[in-house]
């Protein structure tokens, strides 16, 4: 199936990667803002100090009533989870279009099967490099003579740091366990939050850079019919 690039009225073999890229950038920045909010609330918890009644999860299935601040942190983390889901959908939509265009530009199939666009984020071990590899492969298929933007490596390095911390954008601890950690040692939590925020910002820069290169190559390949990017 042929797709229209941007608002062009004629058909081209390329998919609209610019709009998808703008949406992915917005999603990444939204997720970054959500993790800034988490860091602010974790700092507030640390400054308030643990109540005399102890942590929320008191063991053996016993949970004490939450304080107002703890309850608001639950809300912040829930909103952050929603922001992360929106970010994931928008980012993957961009990656799919990026791969499709790279296939047309290079005339070859992508290095990674389409299943890995989604499964590569959740399958243990391979999730340490497959998602970056998929983006890098699409970039090289679009512009083999160009160097991969440094922002791609920065994005992925910070993402992995946040993921390995256990409290990154896909965290293992329950919210009550994170609250307890904020009371006893907030700095590792804030370092993880900083890695996620940095990954979001670097990811937004990477999406813009990779998209710009691919759009330029599509214009070159298709000739004057493809409109200039705005």
- More confidently predicted of 82 and 164: 82
| Per-residue confidence band for 54, with pLDDT thresholds at 50, 70 and 90 | confident
* Percent of the chain's residues with pLDDT above 70: 89
- Collapsing DSSP to helix, strand or coil, 12 comes out as strand
| Per-residue confidence band for 4, with pLDDT thresholds at 50, 70 and 90 | very low
Q: Is the predicted pLDDT of residue 2 greater than 60, yes or no?
A: no
CA distance 221 to 52: 68
SS (H, E, C) 13-78: CCCCHHHHHHHHHHHHHHHHHHHHHHHHHHHHHHHHCCCCCCCCECCCCCECCCCHHHHHHHHHHH
CA distance 104 to 187: 47
């Amino acid at each position: 199936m042929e797709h229209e690039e941007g608002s062009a009225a004629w058909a081209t073999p390329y998919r609209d990667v610019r709009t998808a890229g703008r949406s992915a950038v917005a999603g990444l920045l939204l997720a970054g803002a959500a993790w800034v909010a988490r860091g602010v609330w974790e700092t507030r918890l640390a400054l308030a100090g643990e109540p005399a009644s102890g942590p929320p999860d008191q063991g053996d299935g016993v949970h004490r009533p939450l304080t107002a601040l703890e309850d608001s942190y639950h809300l912040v983390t829930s909103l952050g989870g929603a922001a992360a889901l929106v970010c994931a959908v928008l980012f993957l939509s961009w990656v799919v279009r990026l791969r499709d265009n790279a296939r047309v530009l290079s005339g070859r199939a992508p290095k990674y099967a389409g299943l890995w666009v989604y499964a590569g984020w959740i399958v243990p071990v391979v999730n340490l490099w497959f998602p970056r590899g998929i983006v890098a492969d699409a970039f090289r298929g679009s512009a083999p003579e160009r160097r991969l933007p440094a922002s791609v490596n920065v994005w992925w390095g910070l993402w992995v740091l946040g993921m390995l911390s256990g409290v990154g954008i896909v965290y293992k601890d329950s919210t009550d366990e994170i609250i307890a950690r904020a009371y006893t040692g907030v700095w590792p939590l804030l370092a993880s939050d900083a890695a996620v925020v940095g990954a979001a910002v670097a990811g937004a820069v990477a999406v813009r850079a990779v998209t710009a290169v691919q759009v330029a190559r599509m214009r070159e390949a298709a000739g004057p019919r493809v409109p200039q990017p705005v």
